[in-house]
Structure 1
Amino acid sequence: MSDEQRADWLEACRADGTRLRAAYDDSGSLRPAAAPVATYSSWRGTINVGAGRTLPVRMVSDVTVEPTHRRRGLLRRLMTEDLAEAAAAGLPLAALTASEATIYGRYGFAAATRTRSVEVDTGPRFALHHPPTEGTIELLDPATAYTAVRAVDEAVLARTRGAVGKPSFYAPGDSGARNWADDGPERRARVAVLLDGAGTPRGYVRFVPRDLDGRPGGAADVLQLAATDDAAHLRLWDFVAHLDLVHHVTAALRPDDLLDVALVDPRVVRTQRLRDHLWLRVLDPVAALEARPWRDDGEVVLEVADPQGHAAGRYRVVVRDTTASVTRVDEAAEVRLDAVALAAAYLGDRTVADLAAAGRVEGPGADRLAAMADHAGPTPWCTTDF
């Protein structure tokens, strides 16, 4: 990381109120004492939990441990201290994006959203059943598009279950001021902004053209496509599919993206990988469960096991008109699950019914909880890495 990159990153950390933690070992004869052997950062963010409701969330990032210092409890100490502070501060959830899937379950985290890496044939086979035509599209450089991009991002956060607010370190990249990978300004990305008749942004797509099989501009990588409504989503995809000379596009889609059913030939979309993205940890079940949307009316007492204690306890959940009232109780539990299963089901990416079938939700009230909790909103979707 160059001095300029480091300065920009620290400025973004300060803007978010990020707390940087690290562990040091001064016993080595060659390693500088100021070089950390483990790192960890966190800040307060925002997450949409469904039905347009948002909650504050502890965002966790920059989790590293040097290979020479593994299995010494460094990550456990950093994570345990931070989650305890977040819970004490009244934050109901914690979130991260994981590079390894086997690490964070021990701390109560579970994958809560998924994303699909796809390749799209945008040649003659690409056609929509009903191509949207509303609005106008302007092709801009990132700096010119930045105000519109921010407005769309705010609208997407407000409407998308599972979305989180972008950390401040996104601003230099979104505005074109910095390409973090190349250590300089962004020179290749283009941004197409969709505007309605009044000039209000309805969506944007940021993409980078690239050569394919030796042919200039034969492909494009979609870095982000964000829209404030379904028609705008399809309108932007139709724009991407008709870029001059481009017949091969890579992108990330929802697991159940609308594009699949909008296409005349859905096989032009080829899924390369389906993977987890956002991981959640429930710290306050009362606040978290009362904020999410529900489906059927009902009542159930559930018991949450949590070795760290944050979510542990028994809770009576009463659902009326898609809203829950949750209270701690001393009654016998009808449903038993641990904090990891609770996090997996929280946004609805995994259903209570499936978790029960896998033996991760138990008790005579499991079917009732499934009827109350499952399919209470759209599939969660998060495009923000942090």
Structure 2
Amino acid sequence: MSSPEQWTHPEPGAGPAATAAEPTPEQVIAGLRATTEGGADLTQLLTPEGERVASARFDPYVTDIDAEALRNLYRDMVLVRRADRESNAMQRQGQLGIWVPLLGQEAAQIGSGRALRPSDMAFPSYREHGVAWTRGVDFRELIGIFRCSDHGGWDFQHHGFHPYTIVIGNQVLNATGYAMGQKFEGKVGDDNGEATIVYFGDGATSQGDVHEGFVWSAVYDAPVVFFCQNNQWAISEPTERQSRLPLYQRARGYGFPGIRVDGNDVLACLAVTRWALDECRHGNGPVLIEAFTYRMDAHTTTDDPTRYRLSDELEEWKLKDPIERVRAHLARGGGADQEFFDKIDAEADSFAAELRDFVFNMPDPPPERIFENVYAEPSPVLEAQRREYLSYLEGFAGSEH
């Protein structure tokens, strides 16, 4: 039987461990606070004010990040945010069926995505537009999903970026199986090893698929990084209603390390993910990263966050903006001037305009396309359905409706 001490100490120094099977009220409060505040274990390399924080453990993983590399990370985040905002607006104008905003989570996605090598594989949920960008997926291919014109047209093997997964948590099982394959094929064990990363939100940690992925990956030492973007809200449910402990501490129960990183700090996300991937490459098994961030917009464009959270909370997190802290750091240290920032803003506007033009002029796919690429080989049943459907549509030929 496990000790109550394992789950009644949410943070170091939170107080004495419970001696009974039930924690004290003080320990429950401490645990709830730890799920919604960074806590002492938060790994951070850039403060919200843009000041560099030294880390003996993680600085070695970002020695190559000079001013130019940081400018590139800044550019990544600005362009992805601009595309996100444009896509959000296009959905409101009826050009997209739905949109899943990433506003506020750019650092977690860009930092972790840039940590990957070409030989690695990433498994997203449905919000990882920033990770897709780092893997070379064209936004025009990505947006077809939300235009309802295709299921994702990119070559996932070429990009090392799996198709989006809509079923909550299911991608964790897919990623675990893929990582087990990497292990069985001997693709881990040294500096040249491969690794897998899988993205999911705090809400997905309540799903059985995630639990099963944790179990299997631990048993087989699968080289998979579980990257949880804890944006504080599983649609309308806050994290403290899902877990008494900080999410990264759940890894202990499965026998592999967990770490909490400031998800609004692109440098820390890059360093921690590089470390975690390195652990996996060398055959040291899975790692859980909890990127502590915040969803600045709605869960999707069908959601109204004003119904379940206060504006004061949003205003507090605006001060922790992931883009502004990099901008402040570059400006303070002389790594970039106003001309650079203006240039990136202009590039972002041009990028958004091109995306808008593409969406507004995107042709509707032919109706038979929904039957393509369903199976690797032709299926008699599917072919019969195709003929029946096209015959049904022909019945409307010449009709005004």
TM-score range, shorter chain: under 0.3
Query: TM-score, structure 1 length as denominator?
Result: 0.23
| Structure with more strand by fraction | 1
| Structure with more helix by fraction | 2
Higher relative contact order (CA 8 A, sep 6+): 2
